[in-house]
Amino acid sequence: MDRDRNSLEPPRTRSRMRIVRWVIAGVVALGILLASFWVPVPFLYAYLPGPVRDVGRLVEVREAETYSSEGRLFLTTVGVDIDVTASEAIAAFVDSQKALVLESQVTGGASLEELQDMQEEEMDASKQHAQAVALSELGYGKPTGNGARVEATAGGAPADGVLLPGDVIVAIGGDPIRTTCEAGAAIAAIDVGDPLSLTVRRDGRRRTLELRTVTDPTDPSVPYLGVAMSDVGYSYDPGIEVDFETGRIAGPSAGLMFSLALYDRLTSQDLTGGRAVAGTGTIDCDGGVGPIGGVEQKVAGAEREGAEIFLAPAANAQTAQRAARDIEVVSISSFSDAVGYLQGLE
């Protein structure tokens, strides 16, 4: 039987075709491999240990007697890689010091420029609170102002539809309110479910409003109104000048360490006990220490710097302890907690 000459390729042609296919496949595979090292994965970021700074070198005090310390206080930061490649993403799965996060989790839908602006504003507020907390504790007076302005209310919260943006709270329960800190403290002193009266300034007139607290969505033991406030005419003149030189560091999480460094600078007792102490945590105007993100990366950065102790917000302490290898993690709820612990170091 004769073969159709067009039905089969000659052996030499088939061999050449196989070689060409293998070459093409190899080139494609090499391209994919190279891309995994150079091309970022869309919408994927990574947290990694950031710079660790000696806070004592960032605090400048004038017109007051200051003291040096044998030990050091470190603030910790988180680095954010916005150009994560596929190979880096795979490596991050086995590296406990790195964490993959979606872009939306970092930016919340804001641009990187908007995010930087917001974090710089948070840093400014953090410095303000740190200064007020530390100096008030040392008897340098307290901040004052002309009330707490309502910026927004949470939908469905007790304040929703009762307090309006632009209202200025000037009294709670008959007691004058000068700052947002005083307003927050007055609300916190009310039992969950109890009524309270607020006097506000609205359209040039004073009005008294009645509300009832409910449980805070994040903590059932805490009373909640659901109102965001800002200070009106905030003023604080402690009689000394304080500057925090933070450079490009932004965000609110250095508040605790700022307040401790300032307190340490103005007291004769070495607050560090000669130890290297790192930490993190926001600071409220009343000295409360709040949670932060990226605590695993901050612990790693502190260990890399040689710190012996890591002060972690109570809400982050368990996670920090799991991440720790060669550092003691201490749970901190307030500025006074931190000072008390450090004063007890030998």
Instruction: Give the CATH number, domain containing residue 219.
Output: 2.30.42.10
Which residues have a Cβ under 8 Å from the Cβ of 158 and sit 6 or more positions away?
Answer: 211, 212, 213, 214, 224, 225, 226
Helices (H), 211-272: 255-265
Q: Is residue 212 part of a domain?
A: yes
Q: Are residues 162 and 217 in the same domain?
A: yes
Q: What is the pLDDT of residue 191?
A: 92
Indicate whether 84 belongs to any domain. no
- 311 and 251 in a single domain? The answer is yes
Q: Does one domain contain both 201 and 337? A: no
Number of C-beta neighbours around residue 334 at 10 A: 19
Q: Both 279 and 313 in a single domain?
A: yes
Tokens standing for residue 308: 């012996």
pLDDT of residue 34: 43
- Prediction pTM value: 0.78
pLDDT at 3: 45
Q: Which of 46, 50, 41, 51 is nearest to 99 (CA)?
A: 46
Q: How confident is the model at residue 30, as a pLDDT? A: 45
Which 3 state secondary structure label does DSSP give 233? coil
Neighbouring-strand partners of residue 334: 288
Residue 276 and residue 291 in one domain: yes
In-domain check, residue 56 = yes
Total count of residues recorded for the chain: 346
Query: What pLDDT shows up at residue 199?
Result: 97
> What integer pLDDT is reported at residue 117 of this predicted model?
81
Give the residues of the chain that fall short of pLDDT 70: 1-43, 81, 83-95, 100, 103, 106-107, 346
Q: Which of 186, 205, 231 is the last residue of a domain?
A: 231
**323 with 182, same domain?**
no
> Is 203 found in the same domain as 184?
yes
The total of structural domains in the chain comes to 3
Residues 10 and 119 in one domain: no
Residue ending a domain, among 231, 249, 267, is 231
Host domain of residue 215: 148-231
